[in-house]
């Protein structure tokens, strides 16, 4: 790295002269060995530091941080852990002991502050966890918002070579929260959110449609759930004709799956805000499942019995 003049703009990108910015930290790094840190760093602690403090400490640890180079690095990486590995190969990292964690935490915090338009895998992982925490507080809409952001970010990286969501998880979201579980839970929670705000039924249709377009070879159970959710959402939005067509297609594609008939019949058997109660229609749909030797046929029988008893 070329010698930096005292009165030239600081390479960290602060806009200050070098002598007024990172020069002191660089000189201290040479003049004074850092006292070993007695405890681990936390992300909260690093995040409480201002940007210049973080950059100065990176300089002290042997990372000649420059914003322009950082932007280039972020553009080529998807995770803080991968960028940390690049820095460890490129620079002679002087951090020892507990201070070694500071480097990747600094990357995480500076990435969020300086490049907010590109989310890294660590941030997406945190959003998935945050979604489950919100669900525990019964905040379905907020949880869905977190997970939709994860989905909309990651789907830009899905390729035609990825046959199913598990393969996509292994290739672009490894060693994180389960992407498969999030995708399944998102479909379910978009329904709950839709009961409070019908706009989320539209989101559910879009999400499930995208999922099947990306992963048309999903296993039957997952594919059935997504297609049933689309049909159900159209029904809940009052688009009954479209919903009927999709439920008919569902029973034709999955004639031996009891939930094809239950999902369809339940639209008429359960009184909901956007559907008319039609016991006879529900019963007729349930009866379509009888005599096929379908596993769990008893579930349909119980529904028919409940209708006959007026329950």
C-alpha distance from residue 229 to each of 12, 185, 214 (Å): 50, 12, 16
| pLDDT value of position 1 | 45
Among 16, 13, 96, 25, smallest CA distance to 58 is for 25
List own/partner pairs for 288-297 with CB under 8 A and 24 or more apart: 288/251, 288/261, 289/258, 289/260, 289/261, 289/262, 292/255, 292/256, 294/256, 294/257, 294/258, 295/256, 295/258, 296/258, 297/258
Cβ 207 vs Cβ 145: under 8 Å = no
Q: What is the largest CA-CA distance in the chain?
A: 89
User: How far apart, in whole angstroms, are the C-alpha atoms of residue 207 and residue 214?
Assistant: 11
- Does the pLDDT of residue 53 top 70, yes or no? yes
CA atoms in the 13 A half-sphere facing the CB of 274 = 16
- Does the pLDDT of residue 20 top 70, yes or no? no
**DSSP category for residue 116:** T
Q: For residue range 161-205, list pLDDT tens digits in order.
A: 998 999 999 999 999 999 999 999 999 999 999 999 999 999 999
Q: Counting every residue, how long is the chain?
A: 311
Token pair 């020069």 is found at 23
Average pLDDT over residues 268-290: 81
| pLDDT value of position 34 | 63
Q: For residue range 205-253, list pLDDT tens digits in order.
A: 999 999 999 999 999 999 999 999 999 999 999 999 999 999 999 999 9
User: How far apart, in whole angstroms, are the C-alpha atoms of residue 135 and residue 67?
Assistant: 38
What pTM does this model have? 0.84
pLDDT band at 273 (very low <50, low <70, confident <90, very high): very low
**DSSP category for residue 304:** H
* Element of type H or E holding 9: none
Task: Supply 112's token pair.
Answer: 């969020």
Task: Supply 87's token pair.
Answer: 């820095």
37-67-73-148 Cα dihedral, nearest 10 degrees: 90
- The residues near 119 (Cβ < 8 Å, ≥ 6 apart) are 149, 153
User: How far apart, in whole angstroms, are the C-alpha atoms of residue 96 and residue 94?
Assistant: 6
| pLDDT value of position 29 | 47
Token pair 């009866």 is found at 287
């Amino acid at each position: 790295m070329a010698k930096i003049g005292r009165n030239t703009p600081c390479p960290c990108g602060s806009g200050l002269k070098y002598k007024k910015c990172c020069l002191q930290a660089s000189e201290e790094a040479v003049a004074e060995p850092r006292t070993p840190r007695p405890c681990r760093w936390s992300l909260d602690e690093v995040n409480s530091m201002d940007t210049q403090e973080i950059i100065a400490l990176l300089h002290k640890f042997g990372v000649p941080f420059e914003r322009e180079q950082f932007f280039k690095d972020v553009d080529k990486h998807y995770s803080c852990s991968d960028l940390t590995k690049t820095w460890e190969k490129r620079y002679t990292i002087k951090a020892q002991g507990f201070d070694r964690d500071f480097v990747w935490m600094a990357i995480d915090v500076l990435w969020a502050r300086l490049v907010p338009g590109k989310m890294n895998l660590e941030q997406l992982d945190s959003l998935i966890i945050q979604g489950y925490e919100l669900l525990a507080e019964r905040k379905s809409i907020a949880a869905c918002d977190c997970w939709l952001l994860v989905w909309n970010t990651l789907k830009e990286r899905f390729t035609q070579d990825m046959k199913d969501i598990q393969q996509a998880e292994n290739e672009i979201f490894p060693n994180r929260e389960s992407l498969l579980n999030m995708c399944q839970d998102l479909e379910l929670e978009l329904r709950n959110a839709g009961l409070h705000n019908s706009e989320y039924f539209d989101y559910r249709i879009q999400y499930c449609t995208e999922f099947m377009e990306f992963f048309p070879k999903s296993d039957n159970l997952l594919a059935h759930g997504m297609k049933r959710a689309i049909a159900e959402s159209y029904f809940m939005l009052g688009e009954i004709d479209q919903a009927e067509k999709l439920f008919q297609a569902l029973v034709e594609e999955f004639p031996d799956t009891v939930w094809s008939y239950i999902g369809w019949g339940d639209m008429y058997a359960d009184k909901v805000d956007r559907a008319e109660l039609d016991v006879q229609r529900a019963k007729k749909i349930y009866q379509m499942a009888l005599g096929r030797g379908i596993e769990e046929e008893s579930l349909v029988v119980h529904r028919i019995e409940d209708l006959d008893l007026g329950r």
